Structure 1
Amino acid sequence: MSHHPLTDARQRHHPSLFRSFFQGSFPCSTACRTPGKRLDMVISSGHDMLLEKDYAALAEQHLFTARDGARWHLIEKIPNQYDWQSFLPMIAAAQRQNLQIIWELAHFGYPDHLNIWKAEFVDHFSRFARAMAQLMRDEGIEQPFFTPVNQISFWSWAGADVAWFNPHAAGRGKELKRQLVRASLAAIHAIREVYPDARFVLTDPLVQIAHHADNPDSKPYADAQHQAQFEAWDMLAGRLDKELGGSEDCLDILGLNYYPDNHWFFPDRPMSLDDPARVPLHILLAQCWQRFQRPMLIAETGAEGEARAPWLQEISENVAVALDQGIAVEGVSLYPVVEYPAWADDRRSPGPLFGLADPNGNRNLHEALALVLRSQQIKFTRRDQTG
C-alpha cells in the first residue's frame, strides 16, 4: 500500500472547534460483561467521587476540553422517569472548572428494562436524549457537544458478533449496527429540537486491515473489511441503508479511536509496530478526510506503560503532517485520562495521564507523558500562530 499523502498540498488547517486541541477522555463504559453484572467505569476509576479534582487536574494540564458520559442506566431506572442525581454534579463541576465536555449518552450501556433489539429502544433513547438536552439548557450550557452512541461499529461487533458484552449475541452485528444508527439519528434529531446548534462527535475505531504478503488471495477480503470500518458513518450520512433515515447533515464530527494495535492482517493476524506494511496515521486520516470531508477528532488514543509518552509524540507528529496537508483534525484526546482497574482479563487498558486515586483522593501524574503533552501543546500553539 502506498504511503504517499492522498491530499494535495494546501493551506494548513487551523483547528478552532474545541476549547483546547489536546483533550482528555474519561472512562465511562457501563457495559454488562455478563448478563446482570454491570461495569460502571465512572465508579471504578473513582471519577464519581473526584469530579471536581479530576476536572481541575485536566485544566492544570491545559486540557480544557474533555469527553465524559451520562449514565443512562442510572438516570432511567424506571421507564420514562429521569433521575439526574448522577449527572447534575458532573455538569456543575465542569462549569466551575470552565471545562468544555463532549457528553456521551450511551457508552455500551442502557437501562435493564429495555430490549435493544426492539423499536421501543430507539424511542426511549430519543426521549432520554431530548430530556438530557433540556436539562443542560436549563443549567445554562451553551453550544454543547454530544456523542449519542459511542463506537457503533465496535459495540456491534463486541456485543452482537462475538457476545463479549451486552446484548450478548452472535452473528447479529450488522443488525445491531443498524439499530444503533437508528438510535443515534433519533437522538440527534431530538437534541436539535432543544439545541439547533448542537454538535455531534460520532466515534468509531480508525483501523488498517491489510492482506499479508504470504496470503495474496486474501486481498479482496482485507480490502472489504478495511472499508467496512466506514459503514456506520455511511449509514448516518444516508449513503448506505437509506431506509434508516440518515442524512448528510447528521454526519457531523468524526471521532476516531486509535491505538497501537489498530493495524492487523486479515483476518486477525497482529501487525508489529515496525512492519513495513503499517500505514502511518496521517495516511489513515487522509483517507477519512478524502471520503467524508468532515472535521475529525482523535477521540481516544494511548499506549501501555512506558510506551505512552513516545506514542503521544508519534501521534502528534502525524497529526501535524495532516494539518499541514489541510486535513481538518480538530483535536487529540488522551484515553484513559485517569486510570481504572482492568474490566476484563483479556483487555489491557492504555496508560493514563493520571493514576488511580490514593485514599486521600490524589492521583499521581505520569511525568513523562505530561512532559510530552506540554511540549506538543507549545509546538501546536506556535504552529497555529505562525501558519
Structure 2
Amino acid sequence: MGIFQSFFLGGFECSTQIRRDGRRLDLLRSTGHDRFALQDYRALAEHGIAAVRDGLRWHLIEKAPGVYDWDSFLPMLQAAEEAGVQVIWDLCHYGWPEDIDIWSDAFPARLAAYAAAAAEVIVRETGRPPLLCPVNEISFWAWAGGEVGRFGPNRTGEGARLKRQLVRAALAATRAVREAVPGARFVCAEPLIHVEPALHDAPDHVAGAEGHRNSQFEAVDLMLGRAEPELGGGPDCLDLVGVNFYPFNQWYHGGSTIPLGHHAFRPLRDMLLEVWERYSRPMFIAETGAEGSGRASWLHYVCGEVRAAMAAGVPLEGVCLYPILDYHGWDNDRLCATGLLSSPDASGRRRVHEPLAEELRAQRARLEAARVTAPGLDAAA
C-alpha cells in the first residue's frame, strides 16, 4: 500500500493571492468548492479518486494575531471525513493575513503557530495526523510575487529574497507541526521545469539556461540544508517531494515555450529520474493538467512517462490532476476549462469532461496495479 488511498489524486485550486490591482482571489469560493465540498469529493470517488489536494484560507482563519476562526475550514474537513477522502491540506497557497508584513520575522513565526493550530484541529476532528503542504510552490511564488510583481507581495527584482523568506516560513511551520502533532507528513511541491539554450554555440545562453534550470532545485536544497544551512534547513524537513508539471514548463532561455513533440522537449521520465536520484524521497506528481481539448491527450502523455519512469526505478506514489475543477483565471477571470468537472449549477452539480474521464479510466487500469512504495519511506517519515 502506498502513501495515498488512490494512485490518482484530484487537486482543488485554492489560491488566495492579492493581485496587482489589490483584489484578493479566493478560488475555493469562486469555484464553489467551499460550498459543495462533499458533493465534489463524492463525485471524484466515482472516478476512482480517493485522495486530493485541498487548502485552508489563512486570511479567513487568523482574524487577529493568534486568534483563529475555523468556520471556513471545518465544513470542508468534515466533508472529507464523511466522503472517506484523504486530503493533503495546503496551509499557505500564495496568500496570508493582511496585517502581517511578509518580509518580517513575524511571518515565519505566525505561519508556524497557525500551522500547529491547524494540525491540532485536524487530529482532533479525524483522530489522525495530517498530511500538509506548509507553503505551496516556493519557487513559483518567489518568481511571481518577488521577481516580476504578478501578485503579492508585488515586488520586482526580489525573488531570491522572497524565496528565502518563504523557506524560513516553511521550515518553521514544519517543525512547529512536528512538535504539536507527531506523525504528521509533509509535502514540498515545486515546479518541474526544463530550460533549453536558444543558441547552443553561445556560452552565455548555455550557462543561462542551465542556471535557470537548476533554480528549480534551490528551494528544496534550502529546505534540506544542502544550501545556505544558516537558514535552518535539515534532512528532517523534507518528507514527500511533489513536482508540478504542465505543458508550458519547458522553454528556451529568454524565448518561447517548447511544445510537446518538439525535439528539444525533454522527456518527463528523465526529469522524474533526475529528481529521484537527487533526493531519494517519496515522490508524486503534485500538479499536472492541460486546458480545453488537450486535457485527455496530456494525461495520456504524462501517464506513459510515469510508467516509463517507474520501470526505470522511480518509485512514484501518484499523479494529481490539477485543477480538478474548471476555474476562472487569476488575471482576467476567463473560464479556464482544465477540470474533470465543470463549474457548478445552483445545486452543486457539475458536468464531467468525458474525454478526460475516459482517459483516466484507461490509465487507472494501467497504473493502479503498478503502484510501488518508495524505499526508505519509514526513514523519511
Same structural fold, with TM-score higher than 0.5 when normalized by the shorter chain:
yes
Render the CA deviation track for 1:190-230: whole Å, top value 9, x for unaligned. 11112221111101110001112466331011111101110
Measured in 2, the distance between the counterparts of 1:216 and 1:347 equals: 40
The separation in 2 between residues aligned to 1:336 and 1:357, in whole angstroms, is 15
Counterpart check, 1:154 vs 2:140: yes
Q: How does the TM-score come out when normalised to structure 2?
A: 0.94
Aligned to 1:46: 32
Matched letter for residue 220 of structure 1: A
- Residues 245-260 of structure 1: pairs in structure 2 closer than 5 A: 245-260=232-247
Secondary structure at 2:67's aligned position in 1? coil
Aligned mates of 1:347, 1:116 — CA distance in 2: 29
Q: Does 1:105 align with 2:91?
A: yes
For 2:2, the equivalent position in structure 1 comes to 16
Q: Which runs of 5+ in 2 are unaligned?
A: 373-381
Does the 8 Å contact 1:295/1:328 carry over to 2? yes
Answer yes or no: is 1:188 the counterpart of 2:174. Answer: yes
For residues 239 and 348 of structure 1, do their structure 2 counterparts lie closer, same or farther at Cα, with a shift above 3 Å needed? farther
1:155 shift after superposition:
0.3
| 1:275 CA displacement | 1.6
- Indicate yes or no: 2:334 matched with 1:344: no
**Contact 2:123–2:129 (8 Å) recurs in 1:** no
In the alignment, residue 196 of structure 1 is paired with which amino acid? Answer: P
Larger mean CA deviation between 328-337 and 345-354 belongs to 345-354
Deviation at 1:351, TM superposition (A): 1.4
Given residue 40 of structure 1, which amino acid in structure 2 is its aligned partner?
Answer: D
Quick one: distance in 2 between partners of 1:304 and 1:361? 22
2:357 is paired with a residue whose SS is helix
| Residue 380 of structure 1 pairs with residue 367 of structure 2 | yes
Equivalent residue of 1:276, what SS? coil
Q: How many residues align?
A: 371
* Aligned 1:66-77 pairs, distance under 5 A: 66-77=52-63
Q: 1:107-127 CA distances to partner (integer Å, 9 max, x unpaired)?
A: 000001000000001111110
Give the secondary-structure state (helix, strand or coil) at the position aligned to 1:360: coil
Residue 114 of structure 1 aligns with which residue? 100
Shift in Å at residue 363 of structure 1?
Answer: 0.4
Q: How does 1:218-257 map to 2 (within 5 A)?
A: 218-257=205-244
For the pair 1:25 / 2:16, whether they are aligned, the reply is no
Change over 3 Å in CA distance of 1:268–1:350 after alignment to 2: farther
The one-letter code of the counterpart of 2:294 is: A
CA distance in 1, matches of 2:330, 2:371: 39
Alpha-carbon contact 2:328-2:335 (below 8 Å) kept? no
CA shift in 2, pair 1:118/1:239, >3 Å: same
Q: State the partner residue of 1:287.
A: 274
Q: 1:359 maps to which residue?
A: 346
Question: Residues of 2 paired with 1:278 and 1:53: CA distance?
Answer: 39
Tell me what 2:186 maps to.
200
- Name the amino acid aligned to 2:221: D
Three-state SS of the structure 1 residue aligned to 2:338 is coil
Q: Is the 8 A contact 2:7 2:371 kept in 1?
A: no
Q: Which has the higher contact order (CA 8 A, sep 6+)?
A: 1
Q: Give the share of equivalent positions with the same residue, in percent.
A: 44
Secondary structure of the residue that 2:88 maps to in structure 1? strand
Distance 1:30 1:384, change over 3 A: closer
TM-score, length of structure 1 as denominator length: 0.93
- What is the aligned counterpart of 2:117 among 131, 141, 149? 131
One-letter amino acid of the counterpart of residue 165, structure 1: F
Secondary structure of residue in 1 paired with 2:343? strand
**2:250 alignment partner in structure 1:** 263
In the alignment, the residues of structure 2 paired with residue 354 and residue 187 of structure 1 have an alpha-carbon distance, to the nearest angstrom, of 33
Q: Does the Cα contact within 8 Å between 2:300 and 2:359 map onto a contact in 1? A: yes
Q: CA deviation at 1:156?
A: 0.4
* Pairwise CA RMSD: 1.6
1:80 aligns with 2:66: yes
Q: SS at the partner of 1:352?
A: coil
Q: Which residue of 1 aligns with 2:77?
A: 91
Q: Aligned pair 1:312/2:299, yes or no?
A: yes
Residue type matched to 1:195 in 2? V
Q: Which residue of 1 aligns with 2:287?
A: 300
CA positional deviation for 1:262: 0.4
Mapped partners of 1:340, 1:35: distance in 2: 20
